[in-house]
Amino acid sequence: MKDISSVETLVIPADVTVAIKARKVTVTGPRGTLQKNVGHVQMDIQIVKTAKDNKIVFTIWHGGRKHVACLRTIKSAVENMITGVTRGFLYKMKLVYAHFPINAIPSDNGESLQIRNFLGEKIVRECPMLEGTKVSLSEIKDELILQGNDIEKVSQSAASITDKCRVKNKDIRKFLDGVYISERTNVVQEESKDVAIVVLPTCSCIITTKTYGNMSSNPELFPSLGDVADRTDASNGVEGEELTDMQTVESLCMRCHDQGTTRLLLTTIPYFKEIIVSSFYCEHCGFRDTEIQSAGEIQPKGCTFTVHMLSREDLGRQLVKSNWATVTIPEFQLTIPPGRGQLTTVEGLIRDTVRDLAIEQPVRRIVDPETAAKIDALLKPLRDILDIDESDEDGAAGRDGDTEVMVEQDRDTGRPFVPFSIQVDDPSGNSYLAFKESPADPQWNLRAYNRTNEQNVKLGLVAEGAETTEAEKLESAAAATDAMHRARAVKPEDGSTVPEEVFSFPSTCMSCGHEQETLMKPINIPYFKDVIIMSTNCYACGYRDVEVKSGGKISEKGKRITLKVEAGDEDALSRDMLKSDTCGLEIPEIDLALQPGTLGGRFTTLEGILNEIYDELSTKVFRTGDSATAGVGQIGREDPEARGFADFLQGLKDVMAVKRDFTLILDDPVANSYLQNLNAPEPDPDMEIDEYERTKEQNDDLGISDMVLEGYNEEAEGAPTALEAKTE
C-alpha cells in the first residue's frame, strides 16, 4: 500500500542560511559551508518561509515502504549539516595499551596523524584526515581530539585511525590494544540543565552552579588566575559590570561567630589541575582564611616531595597541600596531619602552624604547664626560621592590615637560618612542592609510590573490611595460571638456552589489596646480560605493573652510556632501552636530570621513556615562587621561573620530536642499564660507553660495602668470618 504523500519538516535556525537547487542542499552558518547532493532520492525539497520561522519541507509522493524510509534519512543528513555549521562535531579517541605505550603525533597542522610504538612495532602508521577534519592532542593523557563540520568525514577519519591500529593474528579478546572512540560531542557546547553542587564543610554553605558539558575541559568554568585578574581589573570602575567568575555567600566566622563572607573561585593552575579556591573574610573581626579543594580526580599513585631548605629564600617555594597530605619536618619533630587543603608557600604554612599553636598558649600555661613548655620549645626554632618575635607569631595571617609592612617589621632581628628538610606525603597524589628552575634542582626530590590497602580505604577507593572471597581467589588463581601457561608457550626465536619456565608466587595488589599472582621470567638481552622481568596483573581491579631486575652479578665497575642524537634522526627514538632503578638520566641541553630511582626500572624505547618523563612533569608541576605575588598570569608581571619551566617543557617537546640536537647520558653505578646498538656487533659511532670505578659513597648507598663476600664456610664451621675478624 502506498500513501499519497509523506512529509517531514525541519526548522532552520536564525543564524543559518539554506539554499536548494536541483536537490543539491547548501547550508551556511557561523562555522562555514557544507554541501550535499541528494539527487539519487526522488523527493521534493522546498523552503517554506513564515512569519515565525523558516522550514525545510521534505515530501515523497506515492512512495513505497523503502522509498519512504529514505525520507527520514535525508532529513537527518540535512539536520547534521545544520549542526555542523553551527556547533561542529568533536570525537574523542582513547589510546588503549597494556605494556607498549602508543605514541600519537599530529602533523601537517593537524591534517595527518602518525602512530608509533603500537604493540612495540617500529612501523610508523600514517593516518591522513579527510578534508575539513583536524586532529590534536588532548590535555588528558592518551587522548586524541578530532573535530570538523562534516560528521561523515569526522567519523570516517576516526574509523580510519581505529582500523590502522587493529590487532591482527592475535586473540582480540585478550589483546585490546588500539585507538577507540570514547566520546562523541560538539565543538560548541550547549548550556545544559545539570546542576553542580559544591559543598565546603568549613564554611557550612552550598553553592549551586550550572555546568557546561565536560567540566574539567571547559575554560569558562575553570578560568586561569590570570584571566580572572584581567577581567577584575577591566571591571573596576565600570558601572553595572559584575564579576561572575566568583560566587559569594554568607557563612559563619569561626573566630567571632558572626556572619562573614566566603568567595568561591573555580580555577585552573597551569601545568597542574583544576581546583576550588575558597576565601573567607569577616568584616567584624578582620579574620581571613583561604582554603583549596581539588576539583580533579585522585591520581593513580601517591607522591612524596622532599625539599632541603638551605636559606630563607627557599621559604618562598609554593606549596599545594590537599586535605589528604601529611607535612613533616623531621628536624623539629613536627608533623602536620591531614586536614584542610591549602595553596600557600612553605613560609605561609609555618606561620599558620605557629599561629595555631600559640593562640591558646596563655591559657595552656596555667591549665597544663608541662604541655605548654613542650609547645614553647617547638615554637622557638620555628620563630627563628621566620625571624619573628613571640609577639608577632600571627605574622600576616588572620589579621587585617598591610601584609608587606608587617613582614618587613618581623625580619629585622637578623637571626641565623638553620637548614631543615620538609616532606609532603600525599596518598591521593594531588599535592605539590615546587622546585627551582627545573627538576634538576638538587634540593628537590619526588617519589611516587603505590598506595596500601589502608590508604585506599581512607580515600574511599576500597570498601572498609572488604576481603577477597573464595570465588575471587579461585578466579584470580585460574586467570594467573592461564597466563602462566601462555607465557611458558613462548620460546626464544634465536634458539638460546633461556629457561622456558615462568615462576609464579602469590602477592598483594598495591592498588586494591586483593590477592594476585606475580609472574617472573629470566630472559637474555643480546650483547648485554640476563635480566628478570616481573609482571603483575590484578584480575580484581585491573592494575598492571612490570618491573625489570638484573639477573646477574654486580659489576665491578659502573657504566656511563652517552648517545648523541642529531635533529631529524627519528630512528634514534626507536632504540630499545633498559633503565634500571639505580640508573640516572640526563639531557644537558635542556637541563633535564633524573636522580637514580626515578620512574623505577623500565624496559622500553627511548621515545617511551621521554613520553613518561613529559607526562609526569606536565601533570605534576605548575608555577613556582611566592604564591602571594600579585599579578600572577598577567602580561608583563609573570614569574620568570614560571616562564623558565614553560621553556623547559617546550625544549622537552622538541627533543621528543627530534627537532634539535641533544645528548642522552645514562649513568648506572652497577652497570645494569642498556641502550640498543643499531650497528651491533660493530661499534655505534653515535654512542660511547665508559666504565668507571665506583666511589665509596656510591658503594655505601648501594649497600655493597656491607656485603660479606667471603668466609661463609668458616662461619658454618664456627670460625670468625672476614667481617668479624675485621671488626675485632
So where are the chain's domains?
5-86, 89-185, 195-294, 302-456
Asked if the 5-86 domain carries CATH number 1.10.10.10, the reply is no
pLDDT of residue 643: 60
Phi, psi of 277, deg, nearest 5 = -100, 125
Q: Residue ranges of the alpha helices (H) in 464-559? A: 470-488
> Residue 622's pLDDT is what?
45
Res. 386: pLDDT tops 60:
yes
pLDDT at 712: 54
Grid coordinates of 32: 562555514
Cell triple for 47: 523552503
Say whether pLDDT at 467 is over 70. Answer: no
3-class secondary structure, 530: strand
Return the H-helix or E-strand segment holding 324: none
pLDDT tens digits, 170-228: 887 778 889 999 999 999 886 544 444 444 443 434 333 333 344 444 444 555 555 55
Task: Write a three-state SS string for 415-432.
Answer: CCCCCEEEEEEECCCCCE
Segment 684-691 shows an average pLDDT of 88
Q: Right CATH number for 302-456 from 3.40.50.2300, 2.60.120.1040, 3.40.50.720, 3.30.360.10?
A: 2.60.120.1040
What's the confidence (pLDDT) of residue 201? 40
Give me the residue label for grid cell 605548654: 372
pLDDT-derived band at 319 (thresholds 50, 70, 90) equals confident
> If you average pLDDT over residues 351-370, what whole number do you get?
87
Phi, psi of 293 (to 5 degrees): -135, 140
Identity of the highest mean pLDDT range in 86-95, 361-370, 390-399, 562-571: 86-95
Confidence check: pLDDT of 587 > 70:
yes
Q: Can you tell me the distance from the alpha carbon of 300 to that of 511, in angstroms, rounded to the nearest whole number?
A: 8
pLDDT at 43 over 80: yes
Q: Which residue has the higher pLDDT, 575 or 297?
A: 575
The predicted model gives 282-292 an average pLDDT of 81
The answer, yes or no, to whether residue 480 has pLDDT greater than 70, is: no
More confident residue, 245 or 389: 389
pLDDT score at 135: 93
Please say whether the beta carbons of 149 and 89 come within 8 A. yes
Q: From start to end of 584-673, where are the E strands?
A: 584-587, 592-594, 602-605, 662-668
Calculate ∠ Cα 325-331-335, nearest 5°.
Answer: 30
The listed range with the strongest mean pLDDT (82-86, 214-218, 630-634) is 82-86
Cα atoms in the 13 Å half-sphere on the side-chain side of 463: 5
pLDDT band (50, 70, 90) for residue 521: confident
> What is the torsion angle, in degrees rounded to the nearest 10, for the CA atoms of residue 125, residue 130, residue 133 and residue 138?
-10
Distance CA 388, CA 413 (A): 8
Task: Please give the helix or strand (H or E) that residue 377 lies within, else none.
Answer: helix 369-386
CATH architecture of 195-294: Single Sheet (2.20)
538-553: burial string, b at 16+ Cβ within 10 Å, e else: bbbeebeebbbebeee
Average the pLDDT over 49-59 and give the result: 87
Residues in the chain: 728
Residue 257 predicted with pLDDT over 70: yes
Asked if pLDDT for residue 498 goes beyond 50, the answer is: no
The whole-angstrom separation of Cα 269 and Cα 489 is 50
Q: Is residue 406 very low, low, confident or very high in pLDDT (cuts 50, 70, 90)?
A: very low
pLDDT in the model for residue 179: 92
Residue 673 confidence (pLDDT) above 80: yes
**In the CATH scheme, what is the code of domain 89-185?**
3.90.930.12
- Average pLDDT in the 280-284 region? 87
Question: Sorting pLDDT into bands at 50, 70 and 90, what band is 274?
Answer: low
**DSSP assignment letter at 703:** T
pLDDT > 70? residue 255: yes
What pLDDT was estimated at residue 479? 52
- Average pLDDT, rounded, for the chain: 76
pLDDT score, position 547: 74
* C-beta separation of 327 from 433 below 8 A: no
- Tell me which residue of 590, 608, 603 sits closest to 665, measured CA to CA: 590
Average pLDDT over residues 564-577: 86
pLDDT (0 to 100) of residue 636:
45
Give me the mean pLDDT over the 254-279 stretch: 73
Same topology, domains 5-86 and 89-185? Answer is yes
107 versus 400: the higher-pLDDT residue is 107
What pLDDT, on the 0 to 100 scale, is given for residue 414? 66
Gap between the Cα atoms of 435 and 24, Å rounded: 61
Q: What is the pLDDT of residue 409?
A: 41
Confidence bin at 258 (pLDDT 50/70/90): confident
Confidence band for 628, pLDDT divided at 50, 70 and 90: very low
Determine the pLDDT at residue 194. Answer: 45
